[in-house]
Amino acid sequence: MRSLAVSLILLPSFAFAQTTVTPEKQWGETVTSLMRKGDIPGLSIAVIREGKIDWEGEFGQKNAVNDGVTDGPVLRDTLFSAASLSKPVFAYIVLRLVDRGVLDLDKPLYTYGFAYDRIDKDPRSKLITARMVLDHTTGLPNSGGTPLEFLFTPGEKFSYSGEGYEYLQKVVEHVTGKSLEELAQQEVFVPLKMEHSTFRWCPILANQVVIGKLETDESISWNTPSEDSASSLLTTAHDYAKFVVALMDGVGLKQATLQQMWSSQVAVPEKGPGISFGLGWGIEQAGASKCIYHGGNNVAFKGAALACPEKREPLSTT
């Protein structure tokens, strides 16, 4: 069985008063048992209730192989590869730029003057907009070579695409003259006090980042220096929970923009009834209740985020 270094972020609303067992003990016993069953060496959780971080827990070891490089337990500041949980953070950056008029959600990306040679020979590339990237309707594959092969005409339907995010990242960096990490620090990490988050791995972080294990028992660490809006975020459960709380409070976005982020842009019928995608987030509608979600899956690292915005209406905008 493959052993995984997992960052799991649970963000529902719970009523712990229904049991006499303390939340910490209840979660600790349950999580430890599930980790043993799943062969999971390290895990970090944050729970939000009524718009605040209500409980956090760190479990297991940060080195799945225990080879002496990063021995020790998972701590509150232990960094996990967030994988595709990177995408909602990048979507937030893009929407902040939209609110300031730097970008337009529905303006074709090629008009911003960045020539992307992986797709620009196909005339369909001229149809792609930022909205299509954020709701995964570009027609680009999740990953591919050069040139990228379109799966369908942009805007036609949903198909999850990390390549779309890479394209939009390059356009955003071209327009702003800043790297993804610079933008993330400016637009997200500093204002939201996410002190243990970065899109850019560097050697100084080596002893803080979890190490996973493959089926062959080989160690694997997320230590690529490239900045990738689709997958390179390193963060903690605590920091990511701060990000979600800020969104539920309406921080940093105009209210109309926030509503678009969490409103259905395209149906995803193959995932089941009531499933759709907004701008950077998946959406599940069950009757009057709506939840937003996103997962992350890099080799040997997994993460998940779930929130119910209606449990905490946006309180302010900036």
Could you report the per-residue pLDDT of 177-223, keeping only the tens digit for each?
999 999 999 999 999 999 999 999 988 888 889 888 887 778 888 77
Domain count along the chain: 1
pLDDT for position 67: 64
Length of the chain: 318
> Cβ distance 276 to 211 under 8 Å?
no
Number of H helices, E strands in the chain: 7, 12
Distance CA 13, CA 310 (A): 11
- Report the CATH number that the domain containing residue 59 is assigned in CATH: 3.40.710.10
Residue 126 in tokens: 């001229």
Residue 284 lies in a domain: yes
Residue 213 domain boundaries:
5-82+198-262+280-311
pLDDT for position 312: 55
Residue 39 lies in a domain: yes
Burial of 36 (0-12, 13-18, 19+ CB in 10 A): exposed
CA 123 to chain centre: 30
pLDDT for position 3: 38
Dihedral angle over CA of 150, 95, 245, 79, nearest 10:
60
Query: In 3D, which of 165, 168, 306, 289 has the Cα closest to residue 240?
Result: 306
Task: Read off the pLDDT of each residue in 24-52 and give the average, rounded to a whole number.
Answer: 84
- Tell me the per-residue pLDDT of 101-151, one tens digit each, with 9 for 90 and over: 999 999 999 999 999 999 999 999 999 999 999 999 999 999 999 999 999
Residue 103 lies in a domain: no
Residue 250 lies in a domain: yes
Residue 77 lies in a domain: yes
Residue 78 lies in a domain: yes
Element (H or E) spanning 134, and its range?
helix 130-134
Residue 270 lies in a domain: no
pLDDT for position 68: 58
Q: Is the model's pTM score more than 0.85?
A: yes
